[in-house]
Chains A and B, each alone.
Chain A
Amino acid sequence: MAGDSRRSFLTGLAGALGALALPAALRPAPLLAAPLEKVRELGVLRVGLYADNRPWSWDRDGTPSGIDVELARVLAEHLGVRADIALFPADEELSDDLRNVVWRGGLLGFQRCDVMLHVPFDRQIMAQEDNVVFLAPYYRESFGAACAADIGDCEAPPVQMHGKRLAAELDSIPDFYLLGSFGGILARDVTHLPSGYAAVAALGEDKADFAVASRAQIEAALADHPDAAIRKRKGPLPAMLSPGWDIGIAVKENSRSLGFVLEEEIMAMAADGRMKTIFARHGVEWQPALAAQPSAS
């Protein structure tokens, strides 16, 4: 049901108006409006973002920084309120994060947020999570690779990197890819780092030769280390375990009113170039989500 209404909406901005109208018809208006009005009344939009998730959201000398942080500030400004950015540690999997951040809150007093950004936008997950509403897919992410300056052909099959220093984020698909693919031949060459960004940055510090990370992590680390001559691999990685995924936002099930207003603004940002500008400030080329492209459905 959620999937069906999404499909009509995702075909374009005009569809969004239709999606807005649908739940309004199903629910009494005052109840629907409450979460949005509460945010306006209190003058604060509390936004949950992953801690240590550069270039999306991280703590730069005590100030939350990154693409998602800037996006959160624009959304708050659009509502005419202040943004309260809550950087939270990732739990074991997405459904834990949604419980801690979006619909219940933490057991030890972490207050749930009005909205969480950087939420994977996936139909199967939507069907499982009935306490939250997934909206506004705003970016298409995928995994890629990068090479240190002096490592030769970056387009070579990864097996040929055997014996070189390989870097990946601990406990991630890039990690599993390097450890487990090609009969495990690369496993002993893998250095584990706390983030994909750090894995790519290590290429510029002579600590690694080849890194697998997300595209945003690669592009941001390249931009931040212009003198290191790190190279981004152009071709796809053979036998990569994920084809890529969309990223959107999530609000609590009873906060659709707020979610739809935020979605409308995000779509407007995508359309008028503001989204592209924010990403570019962090060295990342904005890629529209597959689900937000008319051809996708």
Chain B
Amino acid sequence: MKRRFSKLIAVLAAAGSTIAVPLHAAGPTSADLMNDAESTGDVLSYGLGPWQQRFSPLDTLNADNVSKLVPAFAASLGGEKQRGQEAQPLVYDGTIYVTGSYSRLFAFDARTGEKKWEYNARLPDAIMPCCDVVNRGAAIHGDKVIFATLDAHLIALNRETGKVVWNKKLADYQAGYSATAAPLIVKDMVITGNSGGEFGIIGEVQARNVDTGELIWSRPTIEGHMGMLNGRENGVTGKTGATWPGDMWKTGGGATWLGGTYDPGTNLLFFGTGNPAPWNSHLRPGDNLYTSSTLAIDADTGVIKWHYQTTPHDGWDFDGVNEFIPFDATMNGKPMKLGAKADRNGYFYVLDRSNGKLLGAHKFVMETTWANGINLKTGRPNYVDANRPGAPAGPDKGKSVFASPSFLGGKNWMPMAYSQDTGLFYVPSNDWGMDIWNEPIAYKKGAAYLGAGFTIRPIAEDHIGALRAMDPKTGKIVWEYKNAAPLWGGVLTTHGNLVFTGTPEGYLKAFDAKTGKELWKFQTGSGVVGSPITWMQDGEQYVAVMSGWGGAVPLWGGEVAKTFKEISQGGMLWVFKLPK
């Protein structure tokens, strides 16, 4: 009843508007979302289409004219709430929808930048988020725009008015759960992962009815936990406790905090899973499935079809949540359905996306101390046992180990892009390592505790960040752009032979997709850690990105902090186009 009413309002609003075309009143359908990579007049989904290749077929703006790119307008998220702006905007029907830090959602006029409405989630003040108060984006469907909040709610707003249509609890924030990823919409279902503190939580993927928010299926990521489908039990994940000692599978971790991608051809969802708990790997002998893995999940039932574990028995907090991006290419003379993932552990994996079989694994960072390559036959890393952090043994300081990449990863949350023109992946990576040792004295919840101490440090003289163009077939790095500060923003590539990404130093930059030559840059006033987009509007090609320094990097000090200590906070949407 309530829903019909809000739909009626939307229709009335559209009818009274001179800009909205009646066609748009009903809003995008699931079929429109599947076609987002081809439809250039809008940006309907996180990653520009279900594969999330972040590739636009547009070429009005190209390597020859990008040097003339200028701001069209900017819009502030306002208030005192700044910190990290990691969102990717969406564009539909003359409106830019973008999420902000502190679980906010904004609608701006896509022609003028004027604010249409703003929604501020009311968050309980007792949440203590581990890694900044970011949000990575919204999803759009019909009359709704949907996003997840720091207190682990999923909220659907009417996209015309910003009023709440439904608000569902994904998980209990008091038990340590949170949510920051952009939801994925497939077949009229909103698919979400979960985030959470380091211990006691279980990763999960949920599918909900996009109209009502009601749960359709759920799939936990750790062995032994029961999946659900239409209110009925739908089989446990894996084999209960097979790769965990004792009851540790009950609290095994494996959060799906970065969301997922979807391949319509195989009807598979691809979700990465986080690290196992507790941090000390010596206490949990075994592979600890399915942590630090990519899971392929049937979109209709939530059943796991295959898994590939990038870091079995993870002892470095490498985590395995990175996006798995489907792409088609010819390999060994055969056209294949592939998928690629640049893992936090420093390796770039290419799998057959229909069955999860490993076809290639190549280092994309300067140094991986924890493993000497990946065994293509077994699919497992060739571990360097001496470089696994030791077991804590009482009050003495344990052995210090140097590990590269650092636990912030060869690549963290920031999504890479794939160009269908060059056949290259553009990977926002970081070259850094960490000294890790057992803390002699630590305290948790008022009691003595054994923690790990670590210092992150650069491993190169001239850079931490490196945008790398990687050939997925050979593992060859075709070009790289080095950046002093760590890269923390997403990448966009276009048919105009362009690659865009932002830097903590405040620039949005454009590169030649073939050569890596820097062609354009613009100073946005704060660090860029969001993901850029592009679309056609009134015959002109636009580019947009969020500016606002933050995320997990500034929380860790040491040598690394020197590269960004002068960067100011912010919260601006910047929109660019060529001058007429």
Contact = CB atoms under 8 A, between A and B. Distances in A.
Interface string A231-244: 00000000101111
A204 B341 CA distance: 50
B447 A173 contact: yes
Given A122-B443, A124-B441, A245 B174 contact: no
Given A108-B125, A170-B199, A188-B246, A122 B444 contact: no
A106 interface: yes
Interface residues of A, number: 51
Contact of B443 (A94, A111, A194): A94
Contacts of B248: 190, 192
Q: With a 10 A CB-CB cut-off, give which of A100, A171, A175 has the most chain B CB atoms.
A: A171
Contact of B124 (A108, A192, A239): A108
Contact of B394 (A56, A196, A241): A241
Interface string B249-280: 01100000000000000000000000001101
Contacts of B126: 88-89, 106, 108, 110
Contact of A108 (B102, B250, B278): B102
A242 B447 CA distance: 10
Contact of B442 (A93, A175, A187, A188): A93
Contact of B451 (A50, A93, A179, A244): A93
Most buried by A among B124, B197, B391, B442: B442
Contact of B450 (A122, A176, A190, A191): A176
Contacts of B247: 190-192
A180 B200 contact: no
B123 A245 contact: no
B445 interface: yes
Contacts of A285: none
A171 B123 CA distance: 27
Contact of A180 (B83, B127, B133, B283): B283
Given A120-B443, A122-B443, A239-B394, A172 B449 contact: yes
A257 interface: no
Given A120-B443, A190-B247, A241-B394, A173 B150 contact: no
Given A109-B125, A176-B450, A241-B450, A90 B444 contact: yes
A119 B445 CA distance: 9
Interface string A22-56: 00000000000000000000000000001001001
A91 interface: yes
Interface in A75-112: 88-94, 96, 100, 106-111
B282 interface: yes
Contacts of A198: none
Q: Is the interface of B mostly helix, strand, loop or mixed?
A: loop
A189 B199 contact: no
A120 B448 contact: yes
Nearest to A174: B447
A238 B197 CA distance: 32
Contact of A172 (B174, B246, B440, B447): B447
B123 A176 contact: no
B391 A91 contact: no
B392 interface: yes
Contacts of A120: 443, 446-448
Contact of B174 (A89, A92, A93, A189): A89
A159 interface: no
A214 interface: yes
Given A50-B445, A93-B442, A179-B245, A171 B283 contact: no
Contacts of B278: 171, 175-176
A172 B127 contact: no
B285 interface: yes
Contacts of B451: 93
Contacts of B127: 106, 108
A184 interface: yes
B124 A90 contact: no
Contact of B448 (A92, A179, A245): A245
A245 B245 CA distance: 30
Given A106-B125, A170-B199, A171-B278, A53 B445 contact: yes
Contacts of A171: 198-200, 251, 277-278, 444
B576 to A, nearest CB: 31
B40 to A, nearest CB: 38
A124 B246 CA distance: 35
Contact of A245 (B199, B277, B280, B443): B443
A31 to B, nearest CB: 27
B450 A89 contact: no
A282 interface: no
Contacts of B394: 239, 241
A111 B126 CA distance: 9
B376 to A, nearest CB: 32
A291 interface: no
A93 B444 contact: yes
Contacts of B331: none
A252 interface: no
The 7 closest A-B pairs by CB, nearest first: A109-B125, A90-B445, A242-B448, A94-B443, A171-B199, A118-B446, A120-B443
Interface of A: 50, 53, 56, 88-94, 96, 100, 106-111, 118-120, 122, 124-125, 141, 143, 170-173, 175-176, 179-180, 184, 187-192, 194, 196, 214, 239, 241-245, 247
Given A96-B128, A180-B391, A196-B447, 11 more contacts: A50-B446, A93-B444, A93-B449, A94-B444, A107-B128, A109-B123, A119-B446, A173-B449, A175-B278, A187-B245, A191-B247
